[in-house]
Amino acid sequence: MVNYKELGLVNSRELFKKAVKGGYAIPAFNFNNMEQMQAIIQACVEAKSPVILQVSSGARKYANQTLLRYMAQGAVEYAKELGYNIPIVLHLDHGDTFELCVSCIEYGFSSVMIDGSSHPYDENVALTRKVVDYAHKYDVTVEGELGVLAGIEEDVKAAEHIYTRAEDVEDFVKKTGVDSLAISIGTSHGANKFKPEQCTRDKDGILVPPPLRFDILKEIEKRIPGFPIVLHGSSSVPQDLVKTINHYGGNLKDAIGIPEDQLREAAKSAVCKINIDSDGRLAMTAAVREVLSNEPAVFDPRKYLGPARDKLKELYIHKCKDVLGSANKA
Ligand code: G3H
Ligand code: 13P
Ligand code: ZN
């Protein structure tokens, strides 16, 4: 058992308090390998942004729990070496069982999500409460979820959004003692968030997806004023990356994300954590495809993972500065 404080990590409590007050959101970037971790830390140090290093249960299996513990400690030291001691949270993304949350806490996580959103309400409350009681003993913060995002969340597949019911949030927060709440207002996981037929076209013919349900967000904020809100599924699916991937042999169809101006708008509210994974995957894939296609003789992984890391870094700096507003908040 190692406590995250020994690793130099922080939990999310203070970061969220400041973010809600300051009208910005902390980036929660998923990672599962060294290059992604390097890009996140390089970008957030350069932007002077606090950051949440986010690990799904699949990513944990992929990377190995012991390596992740040392990678997170390494991230803290790496940031210092780069010249700025940014606050770093190590967070479990979409934890689905009490046991997984316990194990992550034992391996140095400073924050966990228990995602009981696919269970009936009372079961979600009971499971979330159990995780909170355990996590708070170690000063680990807990994110819960109400409502279901369309698409795939770990092993749970939903055809339609089940928007968060604003009338439930006060009761859920009170009964569970969670530190933050993920809500469903129209975002979804992956690179295909909307079908083209759900979108309209702007004057340049660019597809414009239906807006997020800011009315539900407002109603939620009315009921739990200032309480930290989390948005999952918040990749914007940059079309230049999609074009690059497809140009160099990829086959992504109807890839549509959440427009950045809507995320900027959300970040000004009590939304204080915005989850981004797919955009990073697209950036890496675009860079790797471009190198391998232009230079077919390359077989040194550094020759394509290096450019992929640079592309990721550029993307993350942009997110901090221009979308979430977290630059210079560390
Ligand atoms: O919410 C989902 C995240 O993008 C993590 O995805 O389970 O494929 O690692 P993953
Ligand atoms: P995206 O698939 O939109 O990047 O969402 C990631 C996420 O919500 C991780 O929990
Ligand atoms: Zn998610």
Neighbours of 269 (CB within 10 A): 16
Average pLDDT over residues 45-53: 98
- Residue to mutate (ligand 2; options 29, 277, 282, 323; most atoms within 8 A of CB): 277
Ligand 2 atom, smallest distance to 149 CA: 8
**Is residue 310 among the annotated active site residues?**
no
Residue 42 to residue 316: CA distance in whole angstroms = 9
Cα-to-centroid distance, 154 and ligand 1 (Å): 6
pTM for the model stands at 0.97
The per-residue pLDDT for 206 is: 86
* Closest to 163 in 3D by CA, of 193, 186, 194: 186
Average pLDDT over residues 210-216: 97
pLDDT in tens, 14-47: 999 999 999 999 999 999 999 999 999 999 999 9
pLDDT in tens, 226-264: 999 999 999 999 999 999 999 999 999 999 999 999 999
Residue type, 46: E
C-alpha pair distances (Å), 37 with each of 4, 53, 98, 250: 17, 8, 26, 25
Both structure tokens of 237: 């699916």
Residue 44 to residue 52: CA distance in whole angstroms = 10
Average pLDDT over residues 142-165: 83
Asked if residue 30 has its Cβ within 6 Å of ligand 2, the reply is yes
Neighbours of 19 (CB within 10 A): 25
Asked if residue 256 has its Cβ within 6 Å of ligand 1, the reply is no
CATH superfamily ID and name for 17-324: Aldolase class I (3.20.20.70)
Asked if residue 190 has its Cβ within 6 Å of ligand 2, the reply is yes
- Please give the full DSSP string across 85-131, using - where no structure is assigned: ---EEEEEEEE-SHHHHHHHHHBT-SEEEE--TTS-HHHHHHHHHHH
Asked if residue 233 has its Cβ within 6 Å of ligand 2, the reply is yes
pLDDT in tens, 283-303: 999 999 999 999 999 999 999
Q: Is 61 helix (H, G, I), strand (E, B) or coil?
A: helix
Task: Using pLDDT thresholds of 50, 70 and 90, give the confidence band for residue 150.
Answer: confident
The per-residue pLDDT for 155 is: 62
The per-residue pLDDT for 154 is: 55
Q: Looking at 93, 179, 277, 279, which residue is catalytic? A: 93
Q: Where are the domains of the chain?
A: 17-324
The per-residue pLDDT for 44 is: 99
Average model confidence (pLDDT) for the chain? 96
